[in-house]
């Protein structure tokens, strides 16, 4: 059944699709069950590996730098200190390293835990986890201190990972439920 030509040239070429037939509104189909299971197992394994790397990088004592550590509760203070260093390489290493440390979180969390899918949920979960890591560093680890800029950079990295890859991977692995 074609509709009247009042809606423009499109209606002359083909009938207008209903909401269920419209390809722009169709739900994306998830991967086949064996591929979904494999993706979940791989994502979980990578998440465990990421947790181990994160723990080694952030919770390893550094007694030699104990006198140099300072707590930073003011956003931007450490970033300015990094950028004021004479060697640009050190600033790139500090800032880039903290951003890269958050990227796997933004990619893997929505795949491992589909209820965390969504920009705000990923950001909130990442910020909470990174705050806990920073609190543990400041309270329990010799030669380490709490730095709010690290939390901001790690969370920014998770945002980048989620937008570039995490959202797509999660949609491929987990189907959205239709609202009725």
Asked if the structure places residue 5 within a domain, the reply is: no
Q: Kindly state whether residue 179 falls inside one of the protein's structural domains.
A: no
- Which among 119, 115, 116, 114 is positioned nearest to 36, based on CA atoms? 114
Sign of CA dihedral 79, 84, 85, 86: positive
pLDDT at 126: 92
pLDDT for position 38: 84
What is the number of structural domains in the chain? 1
Within-domain flag for 105: yes
What pTM value is reported for the model?
0.71
Residue 22 has pLDDT above 70, yes or no: no
User: For the residues 70-99, what does the mean pLDDT come to?
Assistant: 85
* Segments in 70-118 forming alpha helices (H): 77-83, 88-112
- Average pLDDT over all residues of the chain: 79
Sorting pLDDT into bands at 50, 70 and 90, what band is 127? Answer: very high
Domain membership flag for residue 68: no
**DSSP label at 72?**
B
Q: State how far the Cα of 12 lies from the Cα of 174, in Å rounded to an integer.
A: 38
Residue 85 in any domain: the answer is: yes
Distance of CA 45 to the CA centre of its chain: 17
Indicate the Cα dihedral angle 10, 16, 19, 20, nearest 10°. -120
Long-range contacts of the stretch 13-17 (C-beta < 8 A, 24+): none
50 in a domain, yes or no? yes
Could you tell me if residue 143 is inside a domain?
yes
Q: What share of residues in the chain are helix, strand, coil (percent, to 5)? A: 70, 0, 30
CB neighbours of residue 129 within 10 Å: 19
- Rounded-to-integer distance, Cα 114 and Cα 94, Å: 31
- pLDDT higher than 90, residue 160: yes
Distance CA 54, CA 57 (A): 5
Per-residue pLDDT at 61: 73
Q: What is the average pLDDT across 41-58?
A: 84
Please report the pLDDT score of residue 154 as a whole number. 94
pLDDT at 155 over 80: yes
pLDDT on residue 99? 93
For 129-146, what is each residue's pLDDT tens digit?
A: 999 988 888 888 877 888
Q: Is residue 39 one of the residues assigned to a domain?
A: yes
According to the model, what pLDDT value does residue 8 have? 47
Higher-pLDDT residue of 87 and 180 is 87
Q: Which residues constitute the domain of residue 105?
A: 28-62+78-173
């Amino acid at each position: 059944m074609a509709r009247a030509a009042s809606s423009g040239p499109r209606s002359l070429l083909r009938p207008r699709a209903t909401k269920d037939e419209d390809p722009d509104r169709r739900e994306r189909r998830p991967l086949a069950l064996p591929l979904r299971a494999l993706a979940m197992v791989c994502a979980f394994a990578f998440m465990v590996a990421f947790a181990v790397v994160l723990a080694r990088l952030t919770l390893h004592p550094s007694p030699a730098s104990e006198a140099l550590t300072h707590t930073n509760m003011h956003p931007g203070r450490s970033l300015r200190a990094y950028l004021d260093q004479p060697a640009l390489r050190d600033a790139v290493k500090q800032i880039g390293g903290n951003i890269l440390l958050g990227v796997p979180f933004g990619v893997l969390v929505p795949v491992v835990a589909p209820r965390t899918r969504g920009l705000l949920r990923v950001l909130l979960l990442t910020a909470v986890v990174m705050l806990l890591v920073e609190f543990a560093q400041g309270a329990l680890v010799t030669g380490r201190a709490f730095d709010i800029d690290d939390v901001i950079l790690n969370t920014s990295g998770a945002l980048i990972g989620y937008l570039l890859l995490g959202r797509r991977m999660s949609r491929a692995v987990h189907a959205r439920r239709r609202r009725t």
